[in-house]
Amino acid sequence: MDWSDDDVDSVIDAWSEILPGVDLTPLDVMSRLRRVARDLQGVREHAFASAGLRAWEFDILSNLRRAPDGESMTPSQLSAATSTATGTSTYRVDRLVVRGMVARTDHPDDLRSRLVTLLPEGRSAVDAAMRQLVGAEAELIRDLSRGQVATVVEALRTIATVSAKPAAPRRNGRRTR
């Protein structure tokens, strides 16, 4: 493995000269994380495209594929699962209906609701995209041992827990704690 300096090291070195008393460890970690996230986005988009899907299509189809009730969900469940507004979710489901990936049916238990159901075409596409994605992501971590992978996963869990907390309210332009 090549441990030579990269562009993050150059940034850290420059800021160390400018602010010699500041611990730049967080910048070192988060700059690398941001770069990996950017690169990972491209890997994911390529994996989805290889199966003829866009990221949002994969998101909806994968939620339906994992649904416990026979690959069907209500539009409001899909909206919540994909963190999108109901109007956005409806528009996206409409596009997938047109492509023959999902169907809308009446909800048997609620006359006011409908069910969105994954069709065989959607199942094939999302499964192909997932296989492609897992293969591409495995390539990215191929040089890590199982122990290193476990360490990265645990560290990212911790960061995600902290970053998901809402920011403290501001009073007079300052955060309160």
* Per-residue pLDDT tens digits for 96-113: 999 999 999 887 787 777
Rounding to the nearest 10 degrees, give the CA dihedral for residues 91, 46, 160, 154: 140
What spatial distance separates the first Cα and last Cα of the chain, rounded to whole Å? 43
Query: Comparing 19-23, 146-150, 167-171, which segment has the lowest mean pLDDT?
Result: 167-171
- With 0-12 / 13-18 / 19 or more C-beta atoms within 10 angstroms meaning exposed / middle / buried, residue 125 is buried
- The C-alpha atoms of residue 78 and residue 97 are separated, in whole angstroms, by 14
Give the residues across from 102 on adjacent strands.
118
* Per-residue pLDDT tens digits for 26-45: 999 999 999 999 999 999 99
Query: Comparing 1-15, 20-34, 105-119, which segment has the lowest mean pLDDT?
Result: 1-15
